[in-house]
Structure 1
Amino acid sequence: MTLKRMDHVGIVVEDLPAAIEFFVALGMELVGQAPVGGEWADKLTALEGLRADIAMLRTPDGHGQVELSTIHHPKAVSPAPWEPVSTPGIPRLTFVIDNVDDAFARLRPHGAELVGEVAQYEDILRYAYVRGPAGVIVGLVEELG
């Protein structure tokens, strides 16, 4: 077996249109949306009667993708995790961007909140974590120099 590539990261969100707006504001391109359900989806997810809507978004370089999904049935039994960065298993996506301050300003109207502060590591990079849709932590990295 040979690993070919990482295809995408999936995130379940409550408000699909708002989550799409968040990632489009970050600079991703909406590739498409579709309803999901049926026997194949039930088998894949081990959820009986799965009904969902998904959206695929792509990074400008065409290599990274994020799948956003809203599950209509069956309903979740607990809310999304809203834990500190140090909690094992908490999703964290990181993107390289041109300017951390500009990116945060664009994301703030879409619900983004800084987790800590924008931190600079020597003269190499500026880095910030923000909370995105469903509490997912999004890393914003600005390469310096």
Structure 2
Amino acid sequence: MAKSKVTRMDNVGIVVESLDNAIAFFEELGLTLEGRATIEGEWAGRVTGLGNQNVEIAMMVTPDGHSRLEISKFNSPAVIADHRTAPVNALGYLRVMFAVEDLDETLAGLKKHKAELVGDVVNYQDLYRLCYIRGPEGILIGLAEQLTSKRSTL
């Protein structure tokens, strides 16, 4: 068996218009702001292929410390595409799924941040309660509450 070249998934990135609103939303979900910074200059643009750039980032971490979400607001160059309202079957990045302890309580808290349920909360084989929501700026988020101690791969 070949040795894996990946050692871990470091983070998932989401681009937003309002960093403050996105931070507040993800803090309500239970993530913690690990750090916030401005990244700029030609060196950063060499990584992204965007040339000289100026981007504000916030790194959010899950309670277990294993997963991170990098939220970015591009000051320059200007954003050139908007996929925030893409449906669930659109090509490309779509959503991030979070495990939560109490789905109903989580949804109630996120409504303060204008989160909207996309479809219904459904019970998957008495293993999980699942739903999709749209958070700030239409960001699509999946939420899953495990109902039993038996873990299933979805």
TM-score normalised by L of structure 2? 0.89
Deviation at 1:143, TM superposition (A): 0.6
2:17 to 6, 14, 18: 14
Alpha carbon RMSD of aligned pairs, Å?
Answer: 1.3
Deviation at 1:116, TM superposition (A): 0.3
Deviation at 1:137, TM superposition (A): 1.4
Encode CA deviations 1:120-142: one digit per residue, 9 max, x unaligned. 11221100100123422111100
**Structure 1: distance between partners of 2:136 and 2:93:** 13
Q: Which residue of 2 aligns with 1:79?
A: 82
- Which secondary structure state, in structure 2, belongs to the residue aligned with residue 24 of structure 1? helix
- Which secondary structure state, in structure 2, belongs to the residue aligned with residue 82 of structure 1? coil
Q: Does 1:44 align with 2:47?
A: yes
- The runs of 5 or more residues in structure 2 that have no matched partner are 149-154
AA aligned opposite 1:2: K
2:117 to 105, 114, 118: 114
- The runs of 5 or more residues in structure 1 that have no matched partner are none
1:56-71 correspondence runs (5 A): 56-71=59-74
- Which secondary structure state, in structure 1, belongs to the residue aligned with residue 132 of structure 2? strand
CA contact (8 A) 1:83 1:90 kept: no
- Which secondary structure state, in structure 2, belongs to the residue aligned with residue 67 of structure 1? strand
Q: Which residue of 2 aligns with 1:137?
A: 140
Larger RCO, structure (CA 8 Å, separation 6 or more) = 1
